[in-house]
Amino acid sequence: MTHLYDYWRSSAAYRVRMALNLCDIAYDSTSVDLVKGEQRSVEYTARNPQGLVPTLEIDGIRLTQSLAILEYLAETRGGLLPADAAGRAQVRALAYAIAMEIAPICNLSVRNHVANMGAMTADDWQRHYIAKGLAAFEAMLTTTRRFCHGDRVSIADLCLVPQVYNAQRVGVDMRSFPRIEKIVANLVEIPAIAAAHPDRVKPS
């Protein structure tokens, strides 16, 4: 059975939930509460030495790092990446622009550190860097139709949806990014993506 170690508000885990749904993979999940520090427990770090979510157990192996998981699903289940090399490079560039440039400086540990420094609020920090990153992402959308790259959902879309969720949560004005807004509006109409929304998986 496929098992996901998850946190409902984690962007990285959100990406993987969407991918599993799109690939029609049934899975069980265990919540790892990042706010309570459960990711640092001895039990959890035995599964994921970085103490991060997600961790996915699938096909008899254990995987960490959301982009590596998305690539694995693309390779073993199909979809999520274009068939041509140029298309795959473009999709990866878009995915990396979020997962490697925006998300790392806006995650929970960085937010907490910024708040402790007192130079600005954590929300102000996130608004600044998310808006800056999304402006670059908007300019990179040169092969847009319904989604980030053409008319098929790719790993770039699975990175974008959680980042827009975070942007809206801290009050980024999304009207500055009309292409992104249009793409996300199309994506959230897909049942497999809607089912992965944090509000749908938040522990009761």
What domains, with CATH codes, occur in the chain? Answer: 2-78+193-201 (3.40.30.10), 85-190 (1.20.1050.10)
Measure the CA–CA gap between 71 and 56, rounded to whole angstroms.
13
Measure the CA–CA gap between 72 and 81, rounded to whole angstroms.
11
DSSP 196: T
- Looking at every residue in the chain, the average pLDDT score rounds to 93
Q: Residue 124: its pLDDT value, please? A: 85
Percent of the chain with pLDDT over 90: 82
- Whole-Å CA distances, 176 to 29, 138, 171, 180: 36, 9, 12, 9
Question: What is the per-residue pLDDT across 35-77, written as a single tens digit (0 to 9) for each?
Answer: 999 999 999 999 999 999 999 999 999 999 999 999 999 999 9
CA dihedral (68, 203, 188, 25) in degrees, to 10, reads: 50
Question: What is the per-residue pLDDT across 114-143, written as a single tens digit (0 to 9) for each?
Answer: 777 776 787 888 888 899 999 999 999 987
Is there a contact between 117 and 59 (Cβ–Cβ < 8 Å)?
A: no
